Structure 1
């Protein structure tokens, strides 16, 4: 326990130079918000640690396998579960981190994910959109369910860190090669299909985006995205256990089998008979109070209600106009959110697992909605400025006419 507390303080000190450097590059960064976010996230590390003492948590298995490995460190290097054990191995074996310290370390990775998503939002938006008087970007960074599932030793915190770094790097890939590489590395080796979806989204967004960039750069981005997708395609099929000769049928068969297996867990919902819209609604916004399986489910329902209200803001007639002229980052986020949501609905049939899995992609949806609201507010302000300018111009014209009339009458 003491080791975990000491590590929290050490990592706080390690984080400060990083925050200071980022503040120097982006004036919109609020250091107080990011420091508060650090302590808020560490609170959830403590909450998840307590939760894990009374519930069956994967973090115990990850730590045990890193402490008593059946194979050497490099033999653990592979996709999925073993990659988390590979990450944990040197800290447990060589630095002798105990369980609490590993929880803090991986919780810190989750915080880094929030940090880069915060930067991604801030540099791609023009204004401070408010929700009930609060800065919406800041508010989104403090959603409790997002912190709970990214605050422990496991895939959730590490992949959230990887995705955050990856999307931040994609904003300016030429200037953020290291961040882009680290984010891609973490995302690919934890969940290759997520990396695959982001690469496809990146290629489409740079091709269809409205940014003023040379055609060769757009084509090059698409070629890079396609090349990476082709290179990982075979490994992705193996990871997902799909048949190369009949990908769709094997996908349906495999996802049906997985969904059936998840039916045996608690808080299950039989999504296999649902229509696609109902499946998507279930994945994004359930539980919603009436189907909350326990106290945690009721707590999550409050956040889901907020997400539902927030999501409904896109159902406006000018949303399609916005998407057509949106930036590459907005289009990438939309593609990633929809494609991953679509695939997940075929697999998920347990509310507990749904709550955990959707934390990987919800910030993509949040970004699209915030960008839409930002676009609308920018248009409104431009109209007001134009109207004010027309009024000023009209006033000046009237003053000139009045002055001419006065001179003509000899007043």
Structure 2
């Protein structure tokens, strides 16, 4: 039965590859530019090596051979990305099934079929590559040499795609190592010192990419204001005045909006339904967790949620468009859903156990 669901999950994800392809062809998007190597031509690159760089330059470099050398069409590129990310979904599902026996399998399957996460990780784009790196990082959180090597490679990949996310992962790796390392302190502290040095370099690269002279509050505020004005200038249908929101409302908006009635079109409506379900699930989990003083310390929950929190703090301050918010959070909301559903069913199990032992 579990094997048949794995097949269904794989096929389900590829359906979203088809939907993603149709959406980009009809409405446009960065994905087509990534595949045709025209999303950012400021390098003036002509050869494969000249295309190499960070962020958009990297994804264009990655697409150079299949797109320009093999002349594969855009639909084929989406199929390649979709199949790679489908395997990442299967890997995460297999891991979660083993790690969370208290979650009813039907509830777990439902979480893995929520549409927004699949849509944005199903085709040519940075989110697909980010998704693969995140899955490899979090399912290999272990101190054996192979797992540590995979985690480090995931960080390298993330740095090439989105340096600020790599900074988040390096911070998480440092904190995780400090809290759980089985090695002698001198080795642990030495490794963390090296990682902190790499973190400084990653942050420096992030500053350069954002054209920030330093990490002062004035520089950050100037950048945030510019980012909001830049996105606000498009005045898209899904524009929201995030710059006018309080910090808490901006965070809530990042996590749980749009609601079904706040957007135009079937896609924003479906995303809104998913947001309401996620919000209700999260609130229920928080109430039950506080009531029973329950907290699950599994690595993928604690550190996956930490990544999402860091992402949400950043996103809530620089994004003001529902469509972009849905895309940015798509790679990490699975951690909130897993935490919430695991908390709900674990606490219910504790409550029932107390009831029947009275």
In the superposition, the TM-score normalised over structure 2's length comes to 0.87
Partner SS for 2:287:
coil
> Which of 124, 139, 146 matches 1:175?
146
Q: 1:333 to 1:353 in 2, by over 3 A?
A: same
Partner in structure 2 of residue 409 of structure 1: none
> Which of 118, 121, 135 matches 2:106?
135
Partner in structure 2 of residue 263 of structure 1: 232
1:60 aligns with 2:35: no
Partner in structure 2 of residue 108 of structure 1: 83
Runs of 5+ unmatched residues, structure 1:
1-28, 389-411
1:241 aligns with 2:211: yes
Partner in structure 1 of residue 20 of structure 2: 48
Q: 1:315 to 1:177 in 2, by over 3 A?
A: closer
**Counterpart Cα distance in 1 of 2:317 and 2:106:** 35
Query: What is the CA distance between 1:226 and its match in structure 2?
Result: 2.3
* Contact kept in structure 1, 2:137 and 2:151, CA below 8 Å: yes
Partner in structure 2 of residue 97 of structure 1: 72
Pairing 1:210-249 to 2, within 5 Å after superposition: 213=182, 216=185, 219=189, 222-223=192-193, 225-244=195-214, 246-249=215-218
Q: 1:153 to 1:327 in 2, by over 3 A?
A: closer
Partner in structure 1 of residue 7 of structure 2: 35
Partner SS for 2:37:
helix
Partner SS for 2:218:
helix
Partner SS for 1:360:
coil
Q: 1:241 to 1:34 in 2, by over 3 A?
A: farther
* Contact kept in structure 2, 1:120 and 1:171, CA below 8 Å: no
Partner in structure 2 of residue 250 of structure 1: 219
Task: Indicate the RMSD between aligned Cα atoms, in angstroms.
Answer: 2.9
* Contact kept in structure 2, 1:63 and 1:99, CA below 8 Å: yes
* Contact kept in structure 2, 1:150 and 1:160, CA below 8 Å: yes
* Contact kept in structure 2, 1:333 and 1:367, CA below 8 Å: no
Partner in structure 2 of residue 314 of structure 1: 285
Pairing 1:383-394 to 2, within 5 Å after superposition: 383=354, 387=357
* Contact kept in structure 1, 2:121 and 2:128, CA below 8 Å: yes
Partner in structure 1 of residue 275 of structure 2: 304
* Contact kept in structure 1, 2:133 and 2:157, CA below 8 Å: yes
Query: What is the CA distance between 1:341 and its match in structure 2?
Result: 0.4
Runs of 5+ unmatched residues, structure 2:
none
* Contact kept in structure 2, 1:63 and 1:85, CA below 8 Å: yes
Query: What is the CA distance between 1:307 and its match in structure 2?
Result: 0.9
Partner SS for 1:70:
coil
Partner in structure 2 of residue 12 of structure 1: none
1:347 aligns with 2:318: yes
**Counterpart Cα distance in 1 of 2:297 and 2:162:** 28
When Rg is computed on C-alpha atoms for both structures, the one with the higher figure is 1
Deviates more, 1:313-322 or 1:289-298: 313-322
Q: 1:42 to 1:328 in 2, by over 3 A?
A: closer
Partner in structure 1 of residue 163 of structure 2: 192
